[in-house]
Amino acid sequence: MKPKFKSQDVLMGILLLGSLWGLIEVLGGGLLRAIDVPVRSAVVTALGLGIMAIGLAIFRKSWVLFVAPIIAVLVKQLAMPILHLSFTCTANSAVAVMLEGAALGGVFIMLGRKARGNFTGRAGAGFAGALLGGTAFWAIGMRIAPCPYLLSFNSFAGFFSFMANESLIWAALSALTVPLGYSLGESIRNKVANAAEIKPALYYSTTTAIVALSWGASAIALANGL
């Protein structure tokens, strides 16, 4: 029998997935920036898409990949009230998260079973999703919030430079994290479904606790300059 999830179970899972991605973006990205890791955007993007792949494998609903990034963006927007920043200061990173999640969801929808059937297909989906999302970010990001870094790639040659220095690295790392995340999701799917059906109090209390910790840790990280 296939595991079944109620609508509220899926929505709670989406809240959890998005909160974890937001935590990775805020705390993980901040720590990588503090130790001056040159490919930090690629690392947090790949980890975020890996989290999305876990959710896709558990709930088997591609639209999860379009909704969960919204939660991640809201976590990142904690910077506005905490640091008294305007929306434009965080707009680019928010756009990147939305585009990456949507691109991965689009690839899984288009490829269907080919993208889910084995490690190679999932790796290809991760690579293609991150590459498409990165390319879209190059085109859209500098129009929404044209920061100096993005504008440095605002040319024909700059496009290929951005692909080499950003998008292709995002794609390469995501080709690893997405299939690994999907495999992890498959391995725990039945356990999650059983917890949601048989022990709903445990499912919701655990999920709520992780969500609260993710938002709290993100807020503390932002308040401390990460």
Torsion sign (Cα): 159, 161, 162, 167: positive
pTM of the model: 0.91
210 vs 155, higher pLDDT: 210
Whether residue 7 is predicted with pLDDT greater than 60 in this model: the reply is yes
* Higher per-residue confidence, 83 vs 166: 166
- 30-79 per-position pLDDT tens digit: 999 889 888 898 999 999 999 999 999 999 998 999 999 999 999 999 98
Helix, strand, coil % over all residues of the chain, rounded to 5: 85, 0, 15
Q: How many CB atoms lie within 10 A of CB 121?
A: 18
R_g (Cα) of the chain, nearest Å = 17
* DSSP state, residue 89: H
Write the pLDDT tens digit of every residue in 152-208: 888 888 899 999 989 999 999 999 999 999 999 999 999 999 999 999 999 999 999
Q: Evaluate the CA torsion angle 141, 142, 143, 146 in order and state its sign.
A: positive
Residue 113 confidence (pLDDT):
81
pLDDT in tens, 17-29: 999 999 999 999 9
Contact 21, 68 (CB under 8 A): yes
85: left (phi > 0), else alpha (psi -120 to 50), else beta? beta
Question: What is the structure's pLDDT at 174?
Answer: 97
Q: How high does pLDDT run on average in the chain?
A: 90
Type of residue at 81: P
Alpha carbons 96 and 133: distance in angstroms, whole number:
7
How sure is the predictor about 88, in pLDDT bands with cuts at 50, 70 and 90? low
d(C-alpha 192, C-alpha 206), whole Å: 11
Output the six-digit token pair for 114.
């080919």
So what's the pLDDT on residue 90?
A: 73
Is pLDDT at 1 greater than 70 in this prediction? no
Long-range contacts of 197-201 (CB under 8 A, 24+ apart): 197/4
